[in-house]
């Protein structure tokens, strides 16, 4: 809308409502001409301007009255916010790939949870393998998806029974994302039903269990934790995953996903130290699809205090904690 049109309409209303207050004229302008005025204050300023109440200095400064543009309402995709953990200590395990997990690793992990008195227990992605939902060619003799879900749900309930005061978190990894993708591709009419969502299938409606999806970051005091697939072009891993994570995150961070235990630190010019970690896996090390690899098993725990946090990034070799 042109400045001239705004001026003509405002001038007309000032003449028509000559005895009315500035506020009353402005309200009439805004109600009758919402396409010209962006706010009540905008309309009020125009009335004051054309009634000569803005002052000579202000009148000389005004070169244009901005027209009102009606902005269409956006579709909000998600309320993406980091998931915050304040409790300490917290124990994390990732990449179990049920039912292809290593039972010895889980035994060591829960022993560590008991030893520390874990306040939060986190399953940090790829807890399920979702083998039959993958885009790759499937072997029909391998485990079906419903049995994977039942197995994980039983594990979660057993962990809650063993640690009734601990909060349990399930972070969504790229393998869990296979489920939603499968529904979108093969049963889109069912998408959005609460009772078929993966969090619902796992029982995440219970107070003690939280499902963290949408690639949300989990944060503790000065430490950011992701599964590892969240960045759109992945994390470069030419040296080790921790260094690749550092090049993307630039903050104290931890990831899983790569099935490798590694650490990388750099000191800034002002002396600030930034460290990133990648955590080993809890699955079997020689799966049929990749029997030769550079994986290792492990898990991590974090203790928070007034000075910051302490990370223990454990490596496991031949069923023994190193």
Q: How far apart are CA 297 and CA 317, in angstroms?
A: 7
- How many residues in the chain? 322
224-251 mean pLDDT? 93
Higher pLDDT residue, 6 or 167? 167
Higher pLDDT residue, 121 or 18? 121
Q: Is residue 60 pLDDT above 70, yes or no? A: no
Tokens 């995709």 appear where? 77
Please, how many CA atoms are within 13 Å of residue 75, restricted to the half-sphere of its CB?
1
Residue 317 binned pLDDT confidence (cut-offs 50, 70, 90): very high
Is residue 75, in this structure, part of any structural domain at all?
no
Q: Is residue 124 pLDDT above 50, yes or no? A: yes
Parent domain of 41 = 3-61
Q: How far apart are CA 175 and CA 179, in angstroms?
A: 8
Residue 144 phi, psi (nearest 5): -85, 160
What percent of the chain is modeled with pLDDT above 70? 94
Q: Is residue 112 pLDDT above 60, yes or no? A: yes
pTM for this structure? Answer: 0.78
Q: Where is 267: in which H helix or E strand?
A: strand 262-267
Q: Is residue 224 pLDDT above 90, yes or no? A: yes
Give the CATH number for residue 223. Answer: 3.60.21.10
Q: Do residue 248 and residue 291 come from a single domain?
A: yes
Q: Is residue 64 pLDDT above 60, yes or no? A: no
Is residue 140, in this structure, part of any structural domain at all?
yes
Integer-rounded Cα Rg, in Å, for the chain is 29
Residue 105 phi, psi (nearest 5): -65, -45
Q: How many domains does the chain have?
A: 2
Instruction: Note the pLDDT tens digit of each residue in 179-198.
Output: 999 999 998 888 778 789 99
Give the pLDDT confidence score for residue 61 in this predicted structure: 44
Is residue 131, in this structure, part of any structural domain at all?
yes
Q: Is residue 86 pLDDT above 80, yes or no? A: yes
């Amino acid at each position: 809308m042109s400045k001239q049109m705004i001026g003509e309409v405002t001038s007309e209303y000032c003449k028509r409502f000559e005895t009315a207050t500035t506020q009353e004229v402005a309200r009439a302008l805004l109600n009758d001409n919402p396409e010209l005025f962006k706010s009540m204050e905008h309309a009020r300023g125009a009335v004051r301007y054309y009634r000569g109440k803005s002052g000579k200095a202000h009148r000389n400064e005004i070169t244009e009255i901005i027209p009102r543009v009606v902005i269409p309402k956006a579709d909000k995709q998600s309320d993406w916010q980091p998931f915050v953990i304040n409790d300490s200590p917290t124990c994390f395990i990732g990449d179990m790939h049920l039912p292809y997990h290593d039972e010895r690793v889980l035994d060591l992990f829960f022993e560590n949870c008991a030893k520390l008195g874990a306040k939060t227990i986190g399953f940090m992605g790829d807890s399920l393998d979702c083998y039959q939902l993958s885009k790759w060619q499937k072997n029909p003799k391998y485990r079906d998806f419903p049995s994977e879900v039942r197995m994980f749900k039983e594990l979660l309930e057993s962990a809650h029974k063993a640690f009734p005061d601990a909060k349990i978190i399930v972070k969504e990894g790229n393998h869990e994302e296979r489920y939603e993708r499968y529904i979108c591709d093969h049963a889109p009419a069912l998408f959005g039903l609460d009772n078929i969502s993966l969090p619902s299938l796992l029982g995440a409606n219970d107070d003690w269990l939280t499902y963290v999806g949408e690639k949300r970051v989990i944060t503790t005091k000065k430490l950011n934790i992701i599964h590892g697939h969240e960045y759109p072009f992945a994390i470069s891993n030419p040296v080790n995953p921790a260094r690749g994570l550092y090049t993307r995150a630039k903050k104290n961070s931890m990831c899983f996903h790569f099935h490798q235990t590694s650490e990388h630190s750099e000191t800034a010019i002002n002396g600030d130290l930034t460290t990133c970690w990648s955590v080993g896996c809890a699955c079997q090390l020689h799966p049929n699809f990749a029997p030769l690899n550079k994986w290792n098993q492990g898990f991590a725990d974090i203790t928070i205090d007034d000075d910051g946090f302490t990370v223990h990034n454990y490596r496991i070799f031949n069923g023994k904690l190193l």
